[in-house]
Structure 1
Amino acid sequence: MRVNKLITTEIKEENLEWYMKLLDKSYNECITILQQKYGEVRDDYFKQKSYERFLKGEIKKIGKGNYSRAKEGLECHHIFENKYICISNQEAIEEFGYPYELQKKENLVYCDICEHFILHTLITKETNGEFGDGGNEEYLKPKINDWFIEGKVPKPEWMKECIRRAALSTRQAASLLKKSNDMLKDIEEKRRREFSAKLKNMSLEEYDDLLKKEEEERINLARKRDLRMKTEFDKEYPKLKKLNITYNTSRDKILNILYNQKYNENYPDLKAFKSAMINIVRQDLIKLLNDSQPI
Structure 2
Amino acid sequence: MYSDTRKLISLQNPAVLVVAHRGVWTRAPENSLSALEEAISVGADIIEIDTRTTADHQLVVMHDAWLDRTCDHQGEVVHMPFSEVRRARLRGSDGRAGMVVTEERVPLLEELLEEARGRIIVNIDIKFERDRQRVMDLILDMNIADGVLLKSKIDLATQTFPLDMTDSQRRIPFMPIVTANSGSFAEDLRKIEDFGAQIVELNFSDLADVTAAKEQLRRLGIRLWVNTLDESHPLDYCDSRAHQHPGDVWGTVIEAGFGAIQTDSVSQLRRWLKDKGR
| TM-score interval (norm. to shorter) | under 0.3
Higher Rg of the two aligned structures: 1
**Greater percentage in strand:** 2
User: What TM-score, normalized to structure 2?
Assistant: 0.26
User: What TM-score, normalized to structure 1?
Assistant: 0.24
**Greater percentage in helix:** 1
